[in-house]
Amino acid sequence: MRTHELTLTLFGRTGHLRLSVGLLGLAVILILAILLAVAVVLAVIARRRAREAQRAQEELNQLNADLERHVAERTQQLQDANKQLESFSYSVAHDLKAPLRAIGGFSKILMEDCPSQLDEEAQRYLQSIVGGAQRMGKLIEDLLAFSRQGRKEMTPSDIDMDELAKSVFEELRSATPERKLECRLQPLSPARGDRAMIRQVWVNLLSNAIKFTGPKDIASIEVGCSPNGADQNTYYVKDNGAGFDMEYAGKLFGVFQRLHSGQEFEGTGVGLAIVQRVVQRHGGRVWAEGKVNQGATFHFTLPAEGNHHESQ
Amino acid sequence: MNPNELHVLLVEDNPDDVALTLRTLKKHHFINTIHVANDGVAALEHIFGATAGAPCIPRMILLDLKLPKVDGLEVLRALKADERTKTIPVVVLTSSGEDRDLAECYKLGVNSYIVKPVEFDDFTRSVSELGEYWLRLNKTPE
């Protein structure tokens, strides 16, 4: 009985022990299985995510490529359209010159060759025809110059603005020896751009300053510059001339836009449009301040010397 | 004396420009003979003739660029490519002041390039000055 009990107990203990070991093993296996299952699930998820990410990336790449192609196509179309427009306006302006030469030319020939057959009134009419043809010729020339500034290839270099502004001013001064011109040239930082085109900017702005100070006894013109960050400079031309009403400041830079009549100040209204076109092609901007009869200041920005940022 | 000495060829398709040019050249007593060709084909025929023979050598050729059939650049190319005609002074007289036209003409060996002024007085002055220069001052090989 004792033995039996003992055996039973032993057996019971052993059985318990065995049961415990068995349960433990089962638990471990279970845990391992769960871990394995979790790992497998995680791996599957990770793989799916990676695949999705890859697919998304591929789609994104495709979209980017499509977008780039579209942009390139549209840019090309725009450039083509722009070129067509430019060459259209060029050939229109160009072909207008021959008939205009005939209108002015033969009117003059009539006046020269047949003066006895023309009374005073007829002479006056012919004079108006000649004058009209001359003005139109000037408009066409200026329009062609404007169109040329838009089509010209640019060759950028570093430009000594002190020397350039000074030489332009001296040239303009020698063309108007009868005028009293005072010009203060402040030191100008060098710029980077197409020298011939930027020379044209100085010519147009300085000749405007000289023109619009015409009624003044002494024209006072100031040229200066301030750095505008590391890669841009702002230049200005200031005068004490006729000025303008700031209400119309937006019209200053339009082609053929004029704020003064031809009787007051001659011109076709293309000079400032050319200035704006050149400055914008260099990635800069141009603006003006003025007051009627109290002068005007024209500002423009250009890339600083050594700034190789591409412009159009 | 060379019978062709004051013989000028004017290549121009616009009748008004022809009239204005002729009037100026005649008024300033430059020329005895001016032959007018209205297009590039007529110009080349006048110089080289319909059949192969000695070409006609004018003292000067005034050449417009925009011409029917064969344009001025082609005429210039043909003249400057031929040993017999390459020494004839060719003055381009055109409405075009375009850089590419200028560059192309000088590459082909043009002797002078004048942009026709729109204004009559300027036009007259240009034509009479170029006549004075090329027909009186300038010397060409016999």
Tell me which residue of A253, A232, A216 sits closest to A306, measured CA to CA. Answer: A232
Which residues of B fall within a CB distance of 8 Å from A102? 16-17, 20
Whether A100 sits inside 8 A of B118 (CB atoms) is: yes
Which of B96, B98, B120 is opposite residue A101, by nearest beta carbon? B120
Q: Where are the alpha helices (DSSP H) in B2-51?
A: 15-27, 40-48
| Of A75 and A10, the one with more pLDDT | A75
Cα–Cα distance, A43 to B90 (Å, whole number):
85
Structure tokens at B111: 């002797």
Which residues of B fall within a CB distance of 8 Å from A108? 120-121
The model's pLDDT over A276-311, given as tens digits with 9 standing for 90+, comes to: 999 999 999 999 999 998 999 999 999 988 877 655
Q: Is A262's Cβ below 8 Å from some Cβ in B?
A: no
* DSSP state, residue A224: E
Of the candidate ranges A70-74, A269-273, B1-5, B42-46, the one whose mean pLDDT is the lowest: B1-5
Chain-centre distance for alpha carbon A69: 23
Q: What does the radius of gyration of chain B's CA atoms come to, in whole angstroms? A: 14
CA distance B84 to chain A (A): 33
Q: What is the dihedral of CA A183, A186, A189, A195, to 10 degrees?
A: 0
pLDDT at residue A312 is higher than 60 = no
Tell me which residue of A127, A139, A137 sits closest to B116, measured CA to CA. Answer: A137
Query: In this predicted structure, what is the pLDDT of residue B1?
Result: 39
Which residues of B fall within a CB distance of 8 Å from A268? none
Cα–Cα distance, B11 to B87 (Å, whole number):
17
Query: In this predicted structure, what is the pLDDT of residue A11?
Result: 52
Which of A90, A101, A134 is opposite residue B17, by nearest beta carbon? A101
Question: Does the ipTM exceed 0.90?
Answer: no
CA distance B16 to chain A (A): 6
Cα–Cα distance, A228 to A231 (Å, whole number):
7
Whether A104 sits inside 8 A of B14 (CB atoms) is: no
pTM: 0.64
Which residues of A fall within a CB distance of 8 Å from B15? none
Q: Across A20-29, A49-58, B31-40, which has the greatest mean pLDDT?
A: A49-58
Contact A270, A256 (CB under 8 A): yes
Structure tokens at A301: 């920005």
Query: In this predicted structure, what is the pLDDT of residue A13?
Result: 59
Cα–Cα distance, B99 to A10 (Å, whole number):
116
pLDDT at residue A92 is higher than 50 = yes
Contact A301, A278 (CB under 8 A): no
Burial (CB count <10 Å: 0-12, 13-18, 19+), residue B70: middle
Per-window interface: A 14-73 vs B, CB < 8 A: none
Whether A141 sits inside 8 A of B118 (CB atoms) is: yes
